[in-house]
Structure formats: structure tokens, C-alpha cells
Structure 1
């Protein structure tokens, strides 16, 4: 039975510790795939000095649980961890970690990408970037929507 950990938090996280915990004591793990998202200093050609991430407590966790459950139903996963930070962040700060373990790499790669694609478009997070011209809210990109559409085609 696959297990999952989902956390929304302001505090940073340690990538090495999270990956170690993901496979700890599970001798069936043959592959771990992770995605780590960080704050860039540029977006759409404009300098980004920082950002603030907001979420809808309770609803966000439920949305992430649903996304992870869908991935676990599609692929044979051992464990999954999703950590998403909220609050003020600066360039180079870690934002999100999606990591999955499986017996085989193909399933781990596909599930990690699937979770991240759905997280970017279906989870209730709001991102406000601080630029030299002031704050601006950031919408989902067309490329994020296209990534999501391919999963809907492959059901």
C-alpha cells in the first residue's frame, strides 16, 4: 500500500532528509524521482526580487491529497511526498518538493511529472511576485495547461 506525506509550510525543508525518509526501511524501492522548484530572479523578462505564496488552508491540502491519490491509482508507487512552502520567499529559496518512490524508474518519473503538472494548475495557490515596478499576481502559464492536457488524453 502506497503512503503519502503532504505538507504546506512556511519553513524551509532539507532535501536530503526528505529523500532519506521517503525510502527508509522499504526494501521494495528501486527508484526515487524528485522535483525541486525554486524561486527565480527573473520571470517573463522582468526582475523578481521576491514572491509571496498564499493558499486556502484545508482546501489546498485536500487538492494535493486528491492529486497524489490519482497518481497512486495510475502507477505502482511505494511512497510520495509533497511539500509546498507558503509565505514570503526570495530568489534561490526552495518552493516545492515532489518526490515519489517505486520499484521501477518509469513509474516514478511519470508519477512525479504528473503530480507536478496537476499541482501547478489544480492546487489552490496564489503567487504574487515583487518586481521593481511593484507587485503582480502570476497566473498559470499556457505551457502548464498544455502539460495538464496531455495527462487527460492518456487516461
Structure 2
């Protein structure tokens, strides 16, 4: 299990290849990468993401451990950035490896849903028009209900 919270950008190709190379018993590797998207108005300059070191890594580690327990995973990885991240830059990556694709896909979705709604990150959107904190979205909260079984 690899959990990283970092300020610097990461190389998606290198990270995915390195993760896949470590998996000898898996027939499926699933990756997802989140990218900072612009606002509908096209005015977003960057997101400023804050976190509490130590607490954030522990929370992400627990989420990954939950995924490893719930699905037959060989491995899981979470990379999440903080600081000033511009439109079009990668903000996070999730990777899961399992014997079968169903476990790998479901575990990756589980991790993404929890990262979006429960990971202790605070996001501020900074645009040409000003700045504001990103509020929780109802559809993100609703996505969690399918995992609460």
C-alpha cells in the first residue's frame, strides 16, 4: 500500500507502470486520475488545497486499508496533491490491483468516492472574480451510500 500526500506534480505514466510492475498475482490494474477542471464560466485560475499533515495520511491509509479488506486486492495506491494546483494539472491518482477486474474497479470507485467526500482536504477555488471554499456536493455524499452495506 502506497499513500502519498505531496505538493509536487507526479508522472502518471511512471506511477502507473511502477504500481503495475509490483503486482505479480493480479490480472487487473485500475487507475484513476483527477484533474483540476475549469469552472463553467472559465474563470478558475487555480485551486489551493490545504490539509493537516499526519492526520490526512492516516485517514487515507484507513480508507485504503478498508478497500484492501472489502475487496480481494493485491495492492492499492493513493497520491493526492496539496498547495496551488492550476487548471489542467493532476490533483490525485488512485490505483488498485486485483486478481479480477471487478474487485479492482469497485475498489477504485470506493476509494474515489471516499476521497471526494471524506478525505480531510480543504479546497479553495481562486478565480479572476475572487476566491471561495468548495462546499460539499449532495451527489458526492449520495455516492457514499452504496458502500455503506
| Preserved contact between residue 6 and residue 83 of structure 1 (Cα < 8 Å) | yes
Map 1:132-143 to 2 at 5 A. 132-143=128-139
Match 2:14 to one of 8, 17, 21? 17
Deviates more, 1:21-30 or 1:118-127: 21-30
1:149 lines up with 2:145 in the alignment: yes
Cα displacement (A) at 1:27: 2.4
Secondary structure (helix, strand or coil) at the match of 1:148 reads: helix
Give the TM-score taking structure 2 as reference length. Answer: 0.95
1:42 lines up with 2:39 in the alignment: yes
* Structure 1 segments unaligned to the other structure (5+ residues): none
Cα displacement (A) at 1:6: 0.3
Cα displacement (A) at 1:132: 2.2
Cα displacement (A) at 1:46: 6.0
* Structure 2 segments unaligned to the other structure (5+ residues): none
Tell me which residue corresponds to 1:75.
71
| Preserved contact between residue 23 and residue 79 of structure 1 (Cα < 8 Å) | no
**Structure 1 runs (4+) greater than 6 angstroms displaced:** none
Give the TM-score taking structure 1 as reference length. Answer: 0.92
Over the aligned positions, Cα root-mean-square deviation in angstroms equals 1.2
Tell me which residue corresponds to 1:127.
123
- Cα distance in 1 for residues equivalent to 2:143 and 2:23: 31
Taking a change above 3 Å as real, the CA distance of residues 25 and 93 of structure 1, as seen in their structure-2 partners, is closer
Cα displacement (A) at 1:25: 4.4
